[in-house]
Structure 1
């Protein structure tokens, strides 16, 4: 009987409890009403949990004892709320500024991955924090001092490369790095770097055209990603994520100057965000204006100043200087950073529709830049390049630039059942116009103007994408994505005014040959204008299809794969693939690795760029050097083959660890092998000893040049290295301490034989010169280390950063030699104090005035160039003061 009573009571209690179980539903979004799939929902103290689906929706049961509902999602603040009698909850998560920069979008099409849990290495840089404290002002320099694998330095006396800084990662080319904005492809510039700078012969992306104040964070994917994102992603991907904040107005003013009293900087940044509508819409606006003065890093040279044909002694120079009231200082070259003025405006827009399934978005901007760089001084000893009635003591030309960079992306995100769809179009255009001043066309003599419009070039790219993705309840989670891309590239060169390129001293002989009996040079000196023979307008299209999958086989094991097919209208078809995996040995230790193949089609610039410029010729004299396209008569006469695409294989293996609280570290080794790498040839027209080759000169003379260069798939390379990234942050009462270490070891090597045509055998050092070889193998630091220490106390913040730039090399073959520039440590120090709503920051870049090693005399062009533009550049110590105003948006 007692057992029967116990059974009855148990059944009664169970039935009562069961009747009190209820089902709770809801939807989880971010502050902009975007769904957050994969968020963890927990009922306490029941301990039951579930995850939100692709729409952010969830369903879970709770007993009568349930008191709290909690939601956790990486990158957002933990949400807790007491349960009421309601059975449906609309939950909006707020971004956690402390961990938001850990969540990555690049390298994965899944959601919620952090940089320590991805299958490939990704660095994340919080740009507002860097912009507040760091001495650097433009985007390239911010990354140069924050990322060990990123390299960019300013060039001098290098035509257009003085105005658009080339940038690369892991020592590879600027055109082997793909740049995205909000995950959409960014157009490259119209400029070909061709003056012996880093990235010689390449075409990069002008990241300085994007105002840093518009950026929330930058993600740097350090792994080959052609299968995921297409051509140009051989070295990796930089994804720039724009701000979406709607809660404040930010105004920052910066002033600075070098220890030598030049390189003055004035910069004003404005950023404003506001909410749109009632569905989580946003509009973020940015405007930025910046001025950077030129720097002068010259010294006396040993060049002969005056014509000594009648009196061939050095004393003649001294006598002439004294007679004219001049000194050798008056004939120094202007060497240093160019003067730059930059105006930018950017916007980022998102408008969710009321139905909760559709969102319209758009972003883009405009950048206008003018610059002034300087060419080689024309000394009065050269009558062929002088008009003495205008410049009796010679002259130093300057080249000014007008660069217009425009972009607009827009699209719709749509929920289609369980699928997320994204249809977008991205248009970008870069136009570069040149003007040459303080110069002459010597062949016009007294009639010569001193300023010339020299023409320019332009590149336009339009990319249309359609993407689909969804998450499936397979194993521990499967994310599928596929899509298509259609891209059109358009490249053109515009001619300058006639006097900028024409030689009026040329005459046609009775036999039809052309000669120059006066020997006078034509065109604007320092930078010849583009001639009608250089004019080109070409375009091509590209169609791509991709598929991408990420499977969490278990809660510990992730595998991912991608495949991509692309067809070029001018290069045919190619297929690339990628496989990556990550395994959690413990909750604090992951191993990861990837293997992929990649490709990069020759840019339209590399196929169709042609020009004539003044350069130091192989016989160590100034003269005219020409660039010719590969299907030109000159190229065919010399046996130069047409271009084909580069291909690559990428391998990476590494681990991430969090051995104790607030400390994390990642170590990744990599190997990138590139076949048929596109480079510039050396100067045909001279032999390996710098002596003219008559049979080649006879071909080139009719084109008004003494040497000729071409693009060629000349070499295969192998890059091997390791990246180490570590962070440690602690907080104690009112004190915060932080340390971050980045280390990159990198070795570039040319492997195998040159791909030299049979008829050019014996001219290996001309086909691919030792100076270009050195630029590729040792042109960027083989070791780079960034160590930053942060300290905060109440309203004070301190940044101390040391960056070690390892040794590099430059080669001035054939008239100079290879020189190793030893490694250097550059120290940054800045201090800020906040008096709400204003924060004042004062500090210095290169506190101890460190410069690269001085050039050996043989490489200095008779003492003209004291330094090469390597490592940290030639700015020296730079001091700055910045005031930043943060005001909340009261309309919110």
Structure 2
């Protein structure tokens, strides 16, 4: 089916509903004050980086709740500069482009614990992090390799789970959607003396929808469903007024369909994941602060794939139940902040990471890697200037014989409320992952063991401020970004020896450059309006062709109504995606962009000003637009298998159709 092109008038109409990534809504009455005791250097790092010119966007709990999100992807859709799509709805793999990046250039963390593994760059935490456990999401736009390492070459998405409080409180929520999906979740937190805790759990289930716009008669499992539950516990103990011990643990189990548009009878990833960490924080001295942390992340998948044989459609076991692929990360880090004399702060850090993995699906032998990194940064303080702040640092990486030093420098100057300037620049490098090197799945791109590491140079420049316009405080921000990549690893579909593709280092330098514009206004009567536009030109040197799966333009908008004196509110989100291309074997490059999406939601507190009982209604994809999330692909037809011609058909992964979700939440 052809994807319809949206007229400029329709785009303008959708965006006139406006947009937002950060709706400045009031805190709800049931919100509890977050304990400031033991605020770790790690916890505050993103906001400290913002203080020194790094570009940080925060998505808060109210925005997540008002969006009706059940997973992280949906919660992030309105972040400026971030293109993100779940390939087939909630809890599926995602395509990400942050200021013109690729998916593997963005590091995901949960409370500072790295989630996507360096050996498997395509993995993401979207299938293991329900939105119900999230307190906020911090998106760092631009190169962030100084503190976060190689996978943060284009940015970091840090998911922050529920924080500690001194008072007992909690929440229980449930929802159902028009595709039979259900969610049940809740959390409880409080304190006993110097001991604080947060406990949470969630269950998400759906039979799913038909994920492809075209498929073959041999396909008998045609709905992409999920069944996922997570449970976690966080603990904090105040050893002394300024010395705190923190520990957390999360367990996730998931059954996630993994379909294709032909011959599949059963295909599923049965996921089992453990995430744990311990951290010691000292924050009591102006002269010295530090944290010490250890973490563990174990991801095990039991894969099964059973195809239908042709022509009789009898079960054909390709991968028996229990076929293993997975990885394990563990390591530790330490950062100390010193204020030894007037005007400067010094940060010293050490980071150790141990990766290991095995894949019996892609036939990748057990692989391991260790990373040692030393970190140093120097910062100016308000003792020199309260308006201008500068920071510069180095990170030395040693991994399996590959040594690399990267640098970063940033700064910000506040001229007045109406104008500030900020800049962030530095270098990064990215090693090829195990799939790119050794992948051997006949369905997909074949690995190339001769790949070289990527290297990049990043620059972000921004200006912004708050300007009074007709009694309204209008926030604005304009950003220019430029990222130059050498030895970029990309897909290669031109090699006749690999009809489904392989990988290569791009011969010439690739440059991702563009601009963003953000506007944000809080209006009278509880109305708020914001919009953003991103232009990202991602091309090989000397070429006029945009790289695949990188949208050239996209815009977002939100209009919200949340009056302080009323127990109800509503939100409308709109987004437009411009040209974005993909290459399908046998069909060449095709544009799967040029569409607009609209979501809407409303809520009502049934108990009025008490705001304990919340009823919500959300409609995703109000216009029921059929759109592609990953782009066009091709596969061999049933007839092509039978007659040996290997004739192919064209298809794309469908985004979420119109979906109604009704929710109820009880706070106590």
TM-score range, shorter chain: 0.7 to 0.9
Instruction: Determine the structure 1 residue equivalent to 2:570.
Output: 798
Instruction: Determine the structure 2 residue equivalent to 1:151.
Output: 83
Q: CA deviation at 1:283?
A: 1.1
Change (3 A) 1:792 1:709: closer
Instruction: Determine the structure 1 residue equivalent to 2:659.
Output: 878
Distance in 1 separating the partners of 2:268 and 2:124: 20
Distance in 2 separating the partners of 1:422 and 1:817: 52
1:121 and 2:55 are equivalent in the alignment: yes
Distance in 1 separating the partners of 2:416 and 2:80: 28
Q: Deviations over 1:695-746 (max 9, x none)?
A: x6xxxxxxxxx85854432343110111223322245xxx411112222221
1:809 and 2:581 are equivalent in the alignment: yes
Distance in 2 separating the partners of 1:218 and 1:652: 21
Report SS of the residue matched to 1:397: strand
Residue 285 (structure 1) aligned to one of 186, 199, 222:
199
Residue 351 (structure 1) aligned to one of 225, 237, 243:
237
Q: Deviations over 1:602-654 (max 9, x none)?
A: 234433x333334xxxxxxxxxx773552xxxxxxxxxxx2332110001111
Instruction: Determine the structure 2 residue equivalent to 1:737.
Output: 527
Instruction: Determine the structure 2 residue equivalent to 1:782.
Output: 552
Q: Which has the larger radius of gyration?
A: 1
What does 1:401-412 align with in structure 2 at a 5 Å threshold?
A: 401-412=269-280
1:457 and 2:325 are equivalent in the alignment: yes
Distance in 1 separating the partners of 2:43 and 2:418: 19
Contact kept, 8 Å, 1:333 with 1:864, in 2: the verdict is no
Report SS of the residue matched to 1:147: coil
1:712 and 2:501 are equivalent in the alignment: no
- TM-score of the superposition, structure 1-length normalised? 0.63
Instruction: Determine the structure 1 residue equivalent to 2:390.
Output: 559
Distance in 2 separating the partners of 1:185 and 1:562: 21
Q: CA deviation at 1:124?
A: 0.7
Instruction: Determine the structure 2 residue equivalent to 1:375.
Output: 260
CA RMSD of aligned residues (A): 3.7
Distance in 1 separating the partners of 2:467 and 2:313: 75
Distance in 2 separating the partners of 1:206 and 1:726: 30
Residue 353 (structure 2) aligned to one of 487, 499, 509:
487
Residue 275 (structure 1) aligned to one of 185, 191, 196:
191
Instruction: Determine the structure 1 residue equivalent to 2:441.
Output: 612
Distance in 1 separating the partners of 2:577 and 2:316: 46
Q: Deviations over 1:751-770 (max 9, x none)?
A: 269xxxxxxxxxxxxxxxxx
Instruction: Determine the structure 1 residue equivalent to 2:291.
Output: 422
Q: CA deviation at 1:546?
A: 0.6
Distance in 2 separating the partners of 1:109 and 1:135: 30
Instruction: Determine the structure 2 residue equivalent to 1:596.
Output: 426
Equivalences, count: 611
Change (3 A) 1:399 1:672: same
Instruction: Determine the structure 2 residue equivalent to 1:40.
Output: none
Change (3 A) 1:486 1:663: same
Contact kept, 8 Å, 1:218 with 1:238, in 2: the verdict is yes
Residue 266 (structure 1) aligned to one of 163, 182, 192:
182
Report SS of the residue matched to 2:504: strand
Contact kept, 8 Å, 1:468 with 1:482, in 2: the verdict is yes
Distance in 2 separating the partners of 1:778 and 1:445: 35
Distance in 1 separating the partners of 2:503 and 2:588: 24
Report SS of the residue matched to 1:726: strand
Q: CA deviation at 1:206?
A: 1.7
Instruction: Determine the structure 2 residue equivalent to 1:839.
Output: 614
1:627 and 2:446 are equivalent in the alignment: yes
Instruction: Determine the structure 2 residue equivalent to 1:654.
Output: 462
Change (3 A) 1:448 1:739: closer
- Which structure ranks higher in relative contact order (CA pairs < 8 Å, sequence separation ≥ 6)? 2
Report SS of the residue matched to 1:612: coil
Distance in 1 separating the partners of 2:117 and 2:275: 11
Contact kept, 8 Å, 2:111 with 2:159, in 1: the verdict is yes
What does 1:532-547 align with in structure 2 at a 5 Å threshold?
A: 534=363, 536-547=365-376
Residue 549 (structure 1) aligned to one of 361, 378, 383:
378
1:818 and 2:589 are equivalent in the alignment: yes
Instruction: Determine the structure 2 residue equivalent to 1:338.
Output: 224
Contact kept, 8 Å, 1:245 with 1:284, in 2: the verdict is yes
Instruction: Determine the structure 1 residue equivalent to 2:9.
Output: none
Q: Deviations over 1:413-470 (max 9, x none)?
A: 135863112111111122222112353599x999966983372311111121111013
Distance in 1 separating the partners of 2:426 and 2:300: 35
Report SS of the residue matched to 1:224: coil
**Which region of structure 1 is more displaced relative to structure 2, 850-859 or 666-675?**
850-859
> Gaps spanning 5+ residues in structure 2: where?
1-25, 638-646
Change (3 A) 1:223 1:535: closer
Change (3 A) 1:569 1:122: same
Report SS of the residue matched to 1:105: helix
Instruction: Determine the structure 2 residue equivalent to 1:636.
Output: none
1:749 and 2:539 are equivalent in the alignment: yes
Distance in 1 separating the partners of 2:535 and 2:267: 37
Distance in 2 separating the partners of 1:676 and 1:713: 5
Change (3 A) 1:335 1:847: farther
Distance in 2 separating the partners of 1:187 and 1:606: 15
Report SS of the residue matched to 1:131: helix
Q: CA deviation at 1:804?
A: 1.4
Instruction: Determine the structure 1 residue equivalent to 2:489.
Output: 678
Residue 251 (structure 1) aligned to one of 172, 178, 187:
172
Q: Deviations over 1:77-129 (max 9, x none)?
A: 9xxxxxxxxxxxxxxx95599xx9xx99344647xxxx5x5412111100x21
Distance in 1 separating the partners of 2:189 and 2:551: 40
Change (3 A) 1:295 1:190: farther
Contact kept, 8 Å, 2:91 with 2:127, in 1: the verdict is no
Residue 623 (structure 2) aligned to one of 828, 838, 848:
848
Report SS of the residue matched to 1:140: helix
Instruction: Determine the structure 1 residue equivalent to 2:4.
Output: none
Change (3 A) 1:445 1:850: closer
Q: CA deviation at 1:472?
A: 5.4
**Which region of structure 1 is more displaced relative to structure 2, 708-717 or 666-675?**
708-717
Distance in 2 separating the partners of 1:536 and 1:410: 31
Instruction: Determine the structure 2 residue equivalent to 1:644.
Output: 452
Contact kept, 8 Å, 1:265 with 1:291, in 2: the verdict is yes
Instruction: Determine the structure 2 residue equivalent to 1:198.
Output: none
Report SS of the residue matched to 1:232: helix
Distance in 2 separating the partners of 1:858 and 1:237: 29
1:218 and 2:131 are equivalent in the alignment: no
